[in-house]
Every structure is written in structure tokens, then in C-alpha cells.
Amino acid sequence: MISQTESRALLAGLAVTAMSLLPSNPAIAADEGDFRPLSFQSLSLAKAKTFSADFYVDDRDRDPWGIDVFDVGFRFRYQAGDRTELFGNIIVDRVVALPEAPAIPSSPRDLIFAGPSRMIPNAFSGEHPYLDKRGDARFDAFIPGLATIGITRTIQREGLALGLSASLAIPMAGSLNALRSGANSGRPDGAFAVLGSHDLAGGKLHGRVGFTIAGKGSWPDRSFSVSGSTVQVTETNPPIGDRLDAGLAWVRPFAGSMAVALEARMTKEFVSEERVDYITPVDVILGLHKSFGKLTASAALLAHFRALPSGELRANPLAGAIDLSNVSVADRNAFLARVGLGAATAQIRDGSHVVAIGVTSTTLPAGAIRIAPTYNIRSEHNLGYIFTLTWRP
């Protein structure tokens, strides 16, 4: 286990070592299209009618539950003209490891209130709103993530190069099990970005600022307010926010066929009071590229900064409520009838988290859990890596 302080020190040491190995002559050149940022979509520098394909692995940690996201996928780029690039990105296998079941039950939630309902905050990483310990966290489960298609248009090439990009990310798996496994949100996302690049210190500086209009999820939460035989139902989408992302990368060729890259990326999600434990992750990445003719191999170490304080105690907004998600349907319905909430049983969805709120019963059915008043933040590793193999015919 490596702490956040240790990961920062390791990355800083590697960066200093890599910079010291660069030759002092900034005039060493390579084909500028050979080396691009590893961690974000950049402005195209390729020649017209050229094509490239990447195989990549991207491993990273995310809060608030200390999850580990492992993506395996392919990227495709085709330079349709001097100023227009078409691109695609397919996450063919996404594995999201969750150390323990979320302390606040994940969406979709059927919250059954004895009396008036109220807003119960949720906690999740924005791209994985349904992540749950009941999903699959195995590479051989072969759960795909998103398929992204897009276009980049260069509007200025001389000096500071500038361009615009638009893309659409489409979920490739929409079953409840796939969503519980962290595949996606269940709805498409649309993104727009401003891209730039400029020569700097013998290398190329790349920048990106983008905005994503996020899909609002395919499984809403439901709140049932029960009073005798009367049930009032309120349905809300999980609090998935639109996202602002930014990236900056300096890629410096050396020795003719190699390049060193120093990159940073962040994503700010616009969330409301319906989300707790939110953090804006900042990744710093140190990478090395090596060209072998038509193939280019790239490897990078990633450090996740601005992590939540691991071990910190937080109050649970569902403290004292009874989680019935793992109770058999017959026992669950019998219990709800016994505590005066039976009127809601006909509307409970299969597969949802079922939570009874405001119930004082001391006798619980088998599989039921009374939710603890507090929980601890999990954020323990914060190191990752990116590996890419690029082919250019």
C-alpha cells in the first residue's frame, strides 16, 4: 500500500530523473504526429489521409469509496483532411473494483418512509453512479464501457494551433448488472472541447478544456411516503452532474525515436447537495514513448492528487434505517406489513436497494441490516498506470 505522500514523492523523483536524461539540444526532432498525450484527446497534428489505432490500458483510483478502475480499449483516428480528424474510442472491458459495499446504498434505491419522505444524499464517482458490491469486478466478465465517436476541426495551424472538438459517448452495456459493475451511467454523454498546441522547449505543449453534458441515468431512485394504506411516490434521477475537464501535456522528443511526456488532467463535476463525499480528482502522469517504425509503445505512471482523507469518519444520512436489499421477497413484504409499510410492497422494483426509514422494530428478518450511524472514507492507493501501443500503417 502506497500513501498519497509517497506517491507524490515517487512521481516527483521519476520526473526529475526523466528530465535529467534529456539532451540539452532542443533541435532533436521526430515526426510530431508520432507522439500524442496519453491521457486526453488532443489536437490533431497528423498529415491528411493518415490513420492510427491504439490499444490501451488505463488503471486509476477514484474516491469516495477507494475504487480501482481498469479500462482496456482501442482508439482510432483518421485524418480526413488537413484540418479535420475523425476519432473513436471503445472501452471493450471495464473492471471497477470496490473494496467493500457502499455505506450509503447505491442507486437504484426504493426508499420507504414511515411518514413524509425527504431527500437522502447519495455518494458515488460520477461515471459509475450504480456501482455496487453486487456487480462483477472481474476481467473475464468482459463488461464493456463506452463507445465514443467524435470529430476535431483545426481552426488555426500557425503558431498557437487551435481547434474544436465534439463527441458522443454511447453506453455499450445497459443491464442492471453491468451498471452495478461500473460500466457507465446507462445514458449517452455529449462533449465539446477547445484544443490547443504550441512548440515549447524542444517539445509540444498540448491543452484541452472540455465540457460534458452528462446523461442523467437509466434507473431513477424512488421514495415512498406511507401513511396507512396511502402511498405517495416521488421519482428522482441519481445526482449525476455535467462535467468540466481540463488537460495539459508537454511531450518532448529525444534520441530520434523516443519522447518523454509530463501530463496533468482533472475533471470537475457539477453536483448538488444530493451528493456527498465528492472530490475533483487531479491526475499527474509521467510517461515515456518509444517508436519502432510503424509501432509506438508508451508507458506512464499516474498519481491521483486531491484524494479524500482516508479513514475520516462521516455521518451516514441513512443512520438507523433498515436495508432490506438482501432479504427474500416474502420475508421483506411480511416485515414491511408488520411495521405498517405494507402498502408500498406492490411498487418495489426487482433489483433495487430497498431501505425502510423511520422504523423502530428491534426484530429484523434474515439478511436485513440496520445501517450504522457513521462510516469511514476509503482512499488508500492513488497510484495507477497507462500503457498504449499505437500502430500507424
Quick one: pLDDT at residue 48?
85
Q: Are 340 and 115 in contact (CB under 8 A)?
A: no
Domain 4-391, CATH: 2.40.128
| Whether the bond into 129 is cis, omega within 30 of 0 | no
pLDDT per residue as tens digits for the range 95-122: 999 988 999 999 999 999 999 999 999 9
Tens digit of each residue's pLDDT (9 = 90 or more) over 334-356: 999 999 999 999 999 999 999 99
* CB-based contact 229:5 (threshold 8 Å): no
> Higher confidence at residue 297 or residue 158?
297
204-227 per-position pLDDT tens digit: 999 999 999 999 999 999 999 999
> If pLDDT is split at 50, 70 and 90, which confidence band does 32 have?
low
Cα–Cα distance, 154 to 161 (Å, whole number) = 8
Give mean pLDDT, residues 358-387: 92
Rg of the Cα atoms in the chain: 24
Task: Record the cell numbers describing residue 344, joined without a space.
Answer: 408500498
Render pLDDT for 267-292 as a digit per residue (tens, 0 to 9): 999 999 999 999 898 999 999 999 99
Q: Report pLDDT digits (tens) over 149-192.
A: 999 999 998 889 999 999 999 999 999 999 999 999 999 999 99
> With bands split at pLDDT 50, 70 and 90, how would you rate the model's confidence at 265?
very high
How many whole angstroms separate alpha carbon 170 and alpha carbon 159? Answer: 35
Confidence band for 18, pLDDT divided at 50, 70 and 90: very low
* Per-residue confidence (pLDDT) for residue 92, from 0 to 100: 97
Angle, vertex CA 386, rays to CA 380 and CA 388, nearest 5:
165
Q: pTM for the whole thing?
A: 0.88
pLDDT for the residue numbered 65? 87
Whether 23 has a pLDDT exceeding 60, the answer reads no
Between residues 244 and 64, the one the model is more confident about: 244
Q: How are strands ordered across the β-sheet holding 109-114? A: 230-236, 221-227, 109-114, 353-357, 322-323, 369-370
pLDDT at 28 > cutoff 70:
no
pLDDT band at 10 (very low <50, low <70, confident <90, very high): very low
How does residue 380 score in pLDDT terms, banded at 50, 70 and 90?
Answer: confident
Question: Which residues touch 315 (CB under 8 Å, ≥6 apart)?
Answer: 373, 374
pLDDT-based confidence at 33, cuts 50/70/90? low
Share of the chain above pLDDT 70, in %: 91
Domain ranges of the chain: 4-391
pLDDT score of 25 more than 50 = no
- pLDDT for 164 equals 97
How many whole angstroms separate alpha carbon 300 and alpha carbon 259? Answer: 12
